[in-house]
Structure 1
């Protein structure tokens, strides 16, 4: 009878320890998953937000240089603008290179729409630049003043919208990271609770074993 009772208790304890082991493994799995998510968020923050934002400012720099070349051509009223066209072409190539690189990053839906608008604006501006440089005198100035300036301003507006969205998406990544960090803290707390519970169980088992031993010794003495 005592043997059956002892075996039944041992099975209960073994089952309880098995459940605790499963919980510990599950918590460990969830914790590792949270850490991986945090790591992915920071990598995405750098590769898909910080680097592209820097590249977009590089686009703005090239747009500024192109506008400077156009204004110099208007002021000097150059009749031969092949050098200016060559310089602008180089800046266009640099801009295209950055845009192609940017398209390879992770883009949200709004980013894709803004990028599409920017590419259209850049294309319109390039056509106008070629047209303006191909003209001379007052006709060149008229085209620049009537539609050239507005095209440049439109391109900068589209570019500014695309740059601003970088910080917005970055904030979302930071919020996600905070959630994953909170989850990791909760998992660590559960692990601590399980460790304390296991310690209490070990002490209880040892105490129960000592009690049984003392009772057996008394029984044998009698």
Structure 2
């Protein structure tokens, strides 16, 4: 009797450990999937979207140069229209900068972002209305484009790191899935073996009774 109880206890303990393994791995998998979700959101919200803002800002800087060239070469383009269009570009730049600042900024980005804001501020403050003045501001325009270029590089770099982290998380999740499958299979095999053993014991008892 004690032997049967001891065997049943061992069986229960093994099954408990296997089930506990599945539960623990499931908890870890949920946490990992949550990290994966955040990493995916970060790729879009903190990397892809800001990159779009940067490219749009670069285009707006190019539009500024185009406006001045148009003013000089198109006699039908009035000073009023020029100033109005220029103000519209400045407003769009300000909006994009505000949006960019609301995204997740790493320390490396902060350096170039401060420089970018300062350079854009100088450009807007000293914006020339003729080609000569624009030529004087050309180094500042080049500096702004350099700032934007550096920020775009950082976005790409951080984006690659985030993608690598996402791939790592996915790999761990796949491993946990395999572990859960193995544990579930072991439980099935163990239960099958247990019932087979009991059935064999019952058959022996029946044969013994018949004899």
Tell me if TM exceeds 0.5.
yes
Q: Give the structure 2 partner of residue 20 of structure 1.
A: 18
In structure 2, the gaps of 5 or more residues are: none
**Does the 8 Å CA contact 2:51/2:152 hold for their aligned counterparts?**
yes
Alignment of 1:99 with 2:97, yes or no, is yes
Alpha-carbon offset, residue 83 of structure 1: 4.3
Three-state SS of the structure 2 residue aligned to 1:12 is helix
Q: Distance in 2 between matches of 1:152 and 1:200?
A: 72
Three-state SS of the structure 1 residue aligned to 2:126 is helix
**Does the 8 Å CA contact 2:39/2:162 hold for their aligned counterparts?**
yes
Q: Distance in 1 between matches of 2:163 and 2:102?
A: 22
* Counterpart pick for 1:54 among 46, 52, 55: 52
Alignment of 1:45 with 2:37, yes or no, is no
In terms of mean alpha carbon deviation, does 201-210 or 176-185 score higher?
201-210
Q: Distance in 1 between matches of 2:73 and 2:122?
A: 23
Q: Distance in 1 between matches of 2:209 and 2:73?
A: 116
The total of aligned residue pairs comes to 209
Alignment of 1:152 with 2:138, yes or no, is no
Q: Distance in 1 between matches of 2:189 and 2:153?
A: 55
Structure having greater relative contact order (Cα 8 Å, sep ≥ 6) = 2
Q: Give the structure 1 partner of residue 160 of structure 2.
A: 171
In structure 1, the gaps of 5 or more residues are: none
Q: Distance in 2 between matches of 1:221 and 1:81?
A: 115
Q: Distance in 1 between matches of 2:3 and 2:208?
A: 18
